[in-house]
Amino acid sequence: MAELHPEARALLEGANFVSLATLTRDGAPHATTVWWTFERGRPCFFTQPQSLKARNIAADPRVAMTIVDRANPYRTGQLRGEVVETVEGAQALEIIDGMARKYTGEDFPCRAGVVYLIEVAHSRFTELPFSDTPG
């Protein structure tokens, strides 16, 4: 596993949204926004097993992610890697509830999901010299 860029790691630790890209069966990219946390030292997200991203990962575990700082959208982290492990059942629900509390302050209302752990192959951080305030 590649070392995570420290500032990209800090963005992942906050309640920042992540755009996750997977590959469809014909190789086309599919991107969606997900919640994120760390489990077993790896970044992870969750989804329902019937979702398009779950089906994409079953066919090709490679993923790419962009993390956007909610406080300053000109600060971003980028990661590439692949899904190396899944967590299901009661253990997954504990992780999912932790993510939901991080983002909303409450447990996740749906009582199902699969957690996907990512082995990071590459990471970087970018901060552009702009502010979020016009003028």
- How many domains does the chain fold into? 1
- Domain span including residue 64: 6-125
What is the CATH classification number for the domain harbouring 55?
Answer: 2.30.110.10
Q: Give pLDDT, residue 117.
A: 97
Average per-residue pLDDT for the chain: 92
pTM, whole model, 2 decimals?
0.89
- In a domain, residue 1? The reply is no
**pLDDT range class, residue 120, cuts 50, 70, 90:** very high
For 52-63, write each residue's pLDDT tens digit.
999 999 999 999
Q: Give pLDDT, residue 48.
A: 95
> Which tokens go with 86?
């899944």
Backbone angles phi, psi at 15, to 5 degrees: -85, 55
Secondary structure (DSSP) of 74-118: TEEEEEEEEEEEEE-HHHHHHHHHHHHHHHHSS--SS---EEEEE
CA distance 26 to 42: 28
**pLDDT range class, residue 64, cuts 50, 70, 90:** very high
